[in-house]
Amino acid sequence: MTTPNASDARAAAKADLHDLPIAARLAEMERRVREQPASAEHRWPLFQLLCVTEQWARALVQLQAHAQLAPQDAQAAQAYRDLIRAERLRAEVVAGRARPGFVFDAPRWADDLLEALRAASIGRRDEADRVRERALDQAPLVAGRAPHSAFDWIADSDSRFGPVCEIVTAGHYRWLPFSDIAAWHVPRPARLIDLVWAPCAVTLVDGGAVRGFMPARYPAADDANQANQANQANQANETNETNETNETNETNETNETNETNETNDAHETNAHADRGAADAAREIDALRVGHRTTWREAGRTGVIARGRKTWSTSAGDYGLFELERCAFGAAARAAGAADGATHDAAHGAPREGDGDGRA
């Protein structure tokens, strides 16, 4: 599948919006689309920003418009329509209301992970912990090897997924246990949309190959709530400012010195609130484009992540794109043996009597 790179290049040549907050970039692209509604040039960047901010309905509108204006991108448009549909199903799965697809038959422990999501969704945290703990105990440990690292086990750092890899293939959201994967290739992101869905090629343990996308971020439903809270905080600050101004006007009639002090205090309070809102916006932006990952605990076994998809391994944590090429299980062991043989050949096999001076 070819994505509309040319549109990206033309937009970047006209203005570099990279350093602007996402909200400002979004507003600028919306302005350009309004000014040139018959041009496909700005539709694709706007679509990407709408996906970053999870405005799926609006993203679909822009995607459809882009496909009509640039028919050569019809195949890519269909693929991203499928990805948005898969993302919506993903949200339902995480909320305990739906079931993902599987490439092979789902193992029993995967059913337990889904049961834990359902239990958590209705507030039965103890039950969710018990079922999830059973699933994690039953799931096999899968070793892996990348060009610059090796590990004895790997899991998603978010315990809602744990021993499974999320993947969208053939237009459907699926869970793929690590024990079913022989190897993968997840190229580093080339465009903004790759920070939402990362193209990937996966080799299965039966020798089959699938191409698709891995969600590059964790479900971020809380972002909208945080944005709403930030807006409410700003409105509260404006209300407080108005109240303080009224109080200051009343004070004007009696004490000009008190007026000055209160005005200065109000300015300091508003400046502090503005800095807090800006910091919160930067935090949300960093999570949305996968520049960082945060975690919070939920019960005894629940670890809920936000931001960039991250793998936990026996050798430490790795971001999604840090394990660009990786082999698993038997394939990892074979790769390790091949590396060892190559090392021996490069350095020469030890001769009889070498090492400690004894024959």
Q: Is the separation of the CB atoms in 230 and 280 below 8 Å?
A: yes
What is the torsion angle, in degrees rounded to the nearest 10, for the CA atoms of residue 70, residue 76, residue 77 and residue 82? 170
Q: Give the C-alpha separation, 84 to 63, whole Å.
A: 11
Are 58 and 160 in a shared domain?
Answer: no
Are 116 and 198 in a shared domain?
Answer: yes
Are 38 and 165 in a shared domain?
Answer: no
Are 274 and 213 in a shared domain?
Answer: no
For the record, the structure tokens of 225 come out as: 């709530």
For 140, half-sphere exposure in the C-beta direction (CA atoms, 13 angstrom radius) is 11
Amino acid, single-letter form, for residue 50: L
Q: Give the C-alpha separation, 162 to 303, whole Å.
A: 10
Are 136 and 180 in a shared domain?
Answer: yes
**Predicted local confidence at residue 264, as pLDDT:** 57
Q: How many domains does the chain have?
A: 3
Residue 234 inside a domain? The answer is yes
The single residue listed with the structure tokens 């502090």 is 272
Q: Give the C-alpha separation, 182 to 177, whole Å.
A: 11
Q: Pairing mode, if any, of strands 154-156 and 181-185?
A: unpaired
Mean pLDDT per block of 10 residues along the chain (359 residues) reads 56 59 96 96 97 98 98 97 98 98 98 98 97 98 96 98 98 98 98 98 98 95 43 44 48 52 56 70 94 96 98 98 96 68 47 38
Q: Give the C-alpha separation, 177 to 2, whole Å.
A: 28
Residue 358 inside a domain? The answer is no
Question: How far, in Å, are 63, 77, 88, 224, 284 from residue 71 at the CA level?
Answer: 11, 9, 26, 33, 34
Q: Pairing mode, if any, of strands 181-185 and 197-204?
A: antiparallel
What is the torsion angle, in degrees rounded to the nearest 10, for the CA atoms of residue 328, residue 333, residue 335 and residue 338? 180
**Predicted local confidence at residue 278, as pLDDT:** 80
Cβ of 51: how many Cβ atoms within 10 Å?
A: 25
Q: Examine the fold and report which residue of 54, 73, 93 is the final residue of a domain before the chain moves on.
A: 93
Residue 298 inside a domain? The answer is no
Are 192 and 313 in a shared domain?
Answer: yes
- Identify the domain containing residue 21 by its residue range: 5-93
Q: Give the C-alpha separation, 240 to 83, whole Å.
A: 44
Are 125 and 174 in a shared domain?
Answer: yes
Are 24 and 62 in a shared domain?
Answer: yes
Q: Give the C-alpha separation, 45 to 104, whole Å.
A: 36
Are 267 and 237 in a shared domain?
Answer: yes
CATH number of the domain residue 22 falls in: 1.25.40.10
Are 105 and 240 in a shared domain?
Answer: no
Q: Give the C-alpha separation, 8 to 15, whole Å.
A: 11
Which H helix or E strand runs over 44?
helix 43-52
Radius of gyration of the chain (CA): 26
**Predicted local confidence at residue 260, as pLDDT:** 53
Q: Pairing mode, if any, of strands 172-177 and 101-102?
A: parallel
For the record, the structure tokens of 343 come out as: 């090392």
Q: Is the separation of the CB atoms in 213 and 200 below 8 Å?
A: yes
* 294: helix, strand or coil: strand
Polymer length of the chain: 359
Are 225 and 211 in a shared domain?
Answer: no
